[in-house]
Amino acid sequence: MLMEKITSKEFEELKKDTKTVIIPIGSIEAHGPHLPLATDLYTIYEICKLIAKKIKVLVAPPLYYGLCRSTKPLPGTLSLKGEVLKALVFNLLSEFYRQGFKNFFILSGHAGGTHIAYLVDTAEAFIDFYKDTKIFVADIFQLLKPVLEELNIPESDSHAGEWETSLILHFKPELVKEGAFEDYPKFPKFRIVEDKEKYWSSGIWGNPLKASAEKGKILAEKLTEILIKEIKTLEEEGV
């Protein structure tokens, strides 16, 4: 069930037989000349909608913003500070806990390493405080890795490339524009650089020219299956 579409009364009824809350998190971030800024939100939120059609879960209204480090200088990227992201997600978890929920899936369409680290740290802090909760934290790229291997999509394809463009072609084809090309960042290893645009100006990390709506459909279906299995496993623990 999508929380944003139900009434207060329906929410109260839903709590009687719904155990898990999914919090979809994206980003507003440059994704090359061909994909929308909210790509990370669209991919994960559409997956959450598919899950909600198959099993009883509560899908929270999505958080559009995330922490964007490498793409921060690029046009259109809006990044949260890590401390702000952590405080916001912790606050949301606390509110759902106050409403009676104890199982949480924090699913991020944005796979930035620092962004994910803050989400994991938030979950760790929350569990320290609320010891009767269970939390699953993952980003879409890590979840899809076994499926990417099946489709022969290289692990080096990670941002606005083949798999991410395929998902948008499947979910929101009207938002895919012309101008895609293959590209990869050239950041020096272990260096923190100020002028990030010098090393990655396109916002593409992979080959979107190999993308297709058919691949996007497969990716969406497989990821939905993976997450439903994880939700059922978490809910059955301790039962």
96 in Cβ contact with 132 (< 8 Å): no
CA 239 – CA 236 distance, rounded (Å):
5
What residues pair up with 134 in beta bridges, in sequence order?
Answer: 103
Residue scoring higher pLDDT (191 or 103):
103
Convert 177-210 into a string of H (helix), E (strand) and C (coil): CCCCCCECCCCCCCCCCCCHHHHCCCCCEECHHH
Beta strands in 63-150 (DSSP E): 103-108, 134-139
Q: What's the pLDDT tens digit per position in 23-43? A: 999 999 999 999 999 999 999
Domains located in the chain, CATH noted: 3-236 (3.40.50.10310)
Strands 58-59 and 134-139: unpaired
Q: What's the pLDDT tens digit per position in 90-130? A: 999 999 999 999 999 999 999 999 999 999 999 999 999 99
pTM of the model: 0.96
